[in-house]
Amino acid sequence: MLVRDAMSTMVLTIGPDHTLRQAARLMSARHVGAAVVLDVDADGIGILTERDILNSLGSGQNPDYETAGRHTTTDVVYAAPAWTLQDAAEAMAHGGFRHLIVLDDREPVGIVSVRDIIRCWAPSRRHSTTLAAG
């Protein structure tokens, strides 16, 4: 199975000037754990995750003043739609992160998460376990 089969194509995109509270509200409303941060001035694509927001709050920072841009990961590993889920899982395990922005022709077309991969793998694993037990 390929990344394009598992990824979410409803990508939340925010700017670097969004506050962490604004980002958290948008992420919560859309039930996503990450947002793509587009900085048109820096011509870059980054990612802000729920963990980034949690780390900021945990260190006592004010989510109404802290901006997404200050907490965005810009050294991002990107996936391609044609990657296998195994490729994506290995990249996540190697990098220690749970989300990959999926780029097609240098444009974000989706996000794939560990949860997306598990959802795709779990049915086949359950089926093979049932067969082995029978």
Q: What is the pLDDT of residues 35-54, one digit of tens each?
A: 999 987 776 899 999 999 99
pTM for the complete prediction?
0.84
d(CA 126, CA 66): 43
For residue 11, count other CB atoms closer than 10 A to its CB.
17
d(CA 104, CA 17): 25
Residue 132 has a pLDDT of: 53
Q: Please say if the pLDDT value at position 55 is more than 70.
A: yes
Q: How confident is the model at residue 115 (pLDDT cuts 50, 70, 90)?
A: very high
pLDDT tens, 83-102? 999 999 999 999 999 999 99
d(CA 106, CA 102): 9
